[in-house]
A and B are shown apart, each in its own frame.
Chain A
Amino acid sequence: MPANNADTPNSADRRDLLKGLAIVLGAAITPGCQRAAEVPVAQRIAGAARWSADQRAIAHRCADLIMPATDTPGALAAGVGEFMDYVTSVWLQRSELAELLEGLDVLQQQGQRQYSKDFVRLDEAEQVHLLTQMESADSAVNFWGLGAGHSKAFERLKELTVVGYYFSEVGTKQERRYVPMPGHYDGYYKLSEVGKQWSS
């Protein structure tokens, strides 16, 4: 029965394609990965609102820094905030959420340490500076203050933002070219005719 799919030529390939991708995207798209059973029961979803107003505000601000308004709308205008709220409140398991929250707290702490302000009150250049330090896990400023190996929060923020964006109507219709009913197949079509990725 297995075989073919429009995006990826077969299921084995599809699974392989996504191997090693981070958790939100992997589980959004890949069958059979990230089984809840692989996570101890105590770490599974608690079901309650699980982040503070500060953490939420920082995450939402980061979404717009990662996918800002360009010739297409930015992340928050596309609904990425709602996507983040959904994923953090009912979908992420506790250990996964903890990594994200830890990163948001560190952004807050570094805002205070480097600029004596909460992250959301910084100007954009300062926010970009901190987020850049976070991505590179800048040891010169001991960004994490927590030792090595705490860089997952940036990846997760980025992944949440992009997945939420591409799943949205804006990401489907504006950032990509929405063609739900192509009518035919052309394996020699020129990229210049469309200039961006297809969506369906």
Chain B
Amino acid sequence: MIYEGLSTILLKGNPHGRILRFENLDELKEYRDKNCLEVIIVNPAIIMGDPGALGSVKKHFRKAQWVGLVAAVFSDSLLQLFDARIQITDTPGNINSTIARLTEENCICADDSPVEELSDREKEVLIELVHGLSNKEIADKLHISTHTVISHRKNISQKAGIKSLSGLTIYAITQNIISIEDIQSGG
């Protein structure tokens, strides 16, 4: 019942969020996408018998903030294990501001506003790449170091989300960086 109520409050306060429910710490520990969990809300009662268990699970979730959901009286030393606490008596507004504060401090959803447009230099490097030039040849042609070419390539792949040369070629055409005739003529 607490879960239903809490998830409704959280989703209202944070419509883009996703909520997952785990029965116990063991189940949580085996969850695959560990880095996607931003905030983990725990009922302190489940670790009362073995507070050390929380520490060993925490190690696996370096990016998460831990929140105790306090519905009974617990010792201070137990509550201190959490980064923040939600009281069962908190208003929905309080709960959401606690969560918002934690997620701001620890924003792993940086991909909401990524820069995806390639810089002019990156476009130049991409053009030479799809024409089949090596890093060294690109460096010589553009009068930059090989090291710089490699770092441009990394940024291009990151921004486009594409690593393979044939994939980048198609990408370059869709972005009007090169035309299809360019590659068909063999550059």
Same complex: no
User: B interface vs A, CB < 8 Å?
Assistant: none
Interface residues of chain A, those whose CB is within 8 Å of chain B, are: none
